[in-house]
Amino acid sequence: MMLFGRHHWHGESGRRYTFNCALTKNGIPNDSGGIYIFVRRDFLFFLKALYVGKAANLRGRLVGHEKWGKAWWILGATERYTMRVHSETERRMIEEDLIRGLTPKMNDVMMPRGEFDLPNTPQLRRNWIWRRKVGDWFRGLAGIPKKGLREPHKSHVHQSAPDRDEHPAPVQHEPKAQVSSIWKKKRQAPEDHTGYWRKSA
């Protein structure tokens, strides 16, 4: 790697791409389309990709770019890197490969949403499946669980439990307790004193 010169970036597929640093407007190609990267340089030698994009004309796209202000003032971008790519199909593939491999902070499209999220480009998708199968083959030799190509479905416990009754048994109500003898005595009829009044009359 040369300071403010050429630099190699790797995509998710493992492919290496060579970019040229563009510190000024004159360093940006004006006769070709390609891929560009906003970069922040830390401690002089460590480069961090902040944004990856593609353009049919690099200079026309990068001069006055709407995201360069945020990259420069907020995220600390120091320079831009460009690579000439003439074909739009190839530009689309390289852009997705770099975004998935570098995961830039300012990119929100084409970012992988999970471990099992496949690329959109057919060539990258085939490459992703092939690398996953090879990796699972080596994991099987080492006794490590395989990742597979699809995310496993989580089964619900209440659906797979074999000892669960589909129709619960009816609730049995206990019989009412008998009234105690003390309460019966209290509820007895009062004594009849009418005979006393008859005798006195």
Structure-token match 């003032």, residue found:
73
What's the token pair of residue 36? 């560009």
Count other Cβ atoms within 10 Å, centred on residue 127: 18
pLDDT at 116 over 60: yes
For 51-68, write each residue's pLDDT tens digit: 999 999 999 999 999 999
Task: Give a yes or no: residue 91 inside a domain.
Answer: yes
Return the pLDDT at 193. Answer: 52
CA 160, chain centre distance (Å): 28
Please report the pLDDT score of residue 68 as a whole number: 94
Give the confidence band of 85 by pLDDT, cuts at 50, 70, 90.
very high
| Contact yes or no for 35/76 (Cβ under 8 A) | no
Q: Which of 111, 122, 118 is nearest to 133 (CA)?
A: 118
Q: Is 83 exposed, middle or buried (0-12, 13-18, 19+ CB in 10 A)?
A: buried
The pTM (predicted TM-score) of the whole model is: 0.70
In a domain? residue 190: no
Residue 130 lies in a domain: no
Q: Which residues contact 200 (CB under 8 A, 6 or more apart)?
A: none
The reply to whether 195 falls in a domain is: no
pLDDT above 50 for 119: yes
Domain with 56 in it: what CATH number?
Answer: 3.40.1440.10
> Quick check: 164 pLDDT over 60?
no
Position 5 scores a pLDDT of: 81
What pLDDT sits at residue 112?
Answer: 86
| Residue 150 confidence (pLDDT) | 77
Edge-to-edge order in the sheet of strand 16-22: 6-10, 16-22, 79-84, 34-42, 46-55
Question: What is the distance between the alpha carbons of residues 6 and 18, in angstroms, rounded to a whole number?
Answer: 7
pLDDT, residue 191, reads 55
Q: Percentage of the chain with pLDDT > 90?
A: 49
Arithmetic mean of pLDDT, 177-187? 51
Q: In degrees to the nearest 10, what's the CA dihedral of 117, 118, 121, 123? A: 160
- The reply to whether 158 falls in a domain is no
**Token pair recorded at residue 33:** 């389309």
The count of domains in the chain is: 1
pLDDT value at residue 115: 83
pLDDT at 121 over 50: yes
Structural domain that includes position 39: 6-113
CA angle 42, 47, 52 (to 5 degrees): 130
pLDDT tens digits for 2-51?
577 889 999 999 999 999 999 888 889 998 999 999 999 998 889 999 99
Q: Is the pLDDT of residue 95 over 60?
A: yes
Q: Quote the pLDDT of residue 125.
A: 92
Q: Dihedrals φ, ψ of 104, to 5°?
A: -65, 150
Predicted confidence at residue 62, as pLDDT, reads 95
In a domain, 75, yes or no: yes
Does residue 143 sit within a domain?
Answer: no
* pLDDT for the residue 138: 86
Q: Residue 138: CB partners within 8 Å, gap ≥ 6?
A: none
